[in-house]
C-alpha cells in the first residue's frame, strides 16, 4: 500500500495508476486520507465497486433485508416460479420485437 499527497498524485497520476496495480494508493490532503486509488481488473469488479458506494442501491438492500426479516421472505419454489414467469415474458417480448423489426424492413 502506497500513501501519496494530492499534489504528488496530480503531478504523477500515470505513475500512481500503475502503482495501484500492486495495491491501493491512499491519497492524502494535509496528512489526512481523502481518497483511495484502486485498480479495476474487470467489469464485474467495477460494477461491485460502484454498487457498494451507491446510496440508492444500499437503501434498496437495507429495505429488502428488513422486509425479509419482517415477513420471512417468500418460499423457495415461489421465488423460482416468479423468476421463470418473468423469463418467459421477457423472451416473448423479445420475439415480438424481432417480428416488428422484420416487418419494418
pLDDT digits (tens, 9 = 90+) for 21-37: 999 999 999 999 999 99
> How many structural domains are present in the chain?
3
34 in the same domain as 8: yes
Average pLDDT, stretch 93-104?
A: 61
65 in the same domain as 83: no
65 in the same domain as 46: yes
Mean per-residue pLDDT over the chain, rounded: 90
Average pLDDT, stretch 78-84?
A: 93
21 in the same domain as 8: yes
pTM above 0.75, yes or no: no
Could you give the CA distance from residue 36 to residue 74 in angstroms, rounded to a whole number? 39
1 in the same domain as 32: yes
31 in the same domain as 13: yes
Question: Positive or negative CA dihedral for 10, 13, 17, 20?
Answer: negative
pLDDT of residue 102: 56
Amino acid at each position: 500500500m502506497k500513501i501519496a499527497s494530492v499534489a504528488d498524485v496530480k503531478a504523477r497520476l500515470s505513475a500512481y495508476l500503475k502503482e495501484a496495480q500492486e495495491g491501493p494508493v491512499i491519497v492524502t490532503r494535509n496528512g489526512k486520507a481523502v481518497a483511495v486509488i484502486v485498480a479495476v481488473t474487470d467489469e464485474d469488479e467495477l460494477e461491485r465497486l460502484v454498487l457498494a458506494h451507491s446510496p440508492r442501491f444500499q437503501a434498496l438492500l437495507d429495505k429488502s433485508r428488513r422486509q425479509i426479516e419482517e415477513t420471512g421472505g417468500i418460499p423457495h419454489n415461489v421465488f423460482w416460479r416468479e423468476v421463470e414467469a418473468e423469463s418467459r415474458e421477457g423472451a416473448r417480448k423479445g420475439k415480438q420485437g424481432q417480428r416488428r423489426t422484420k416487418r419494418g424492413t
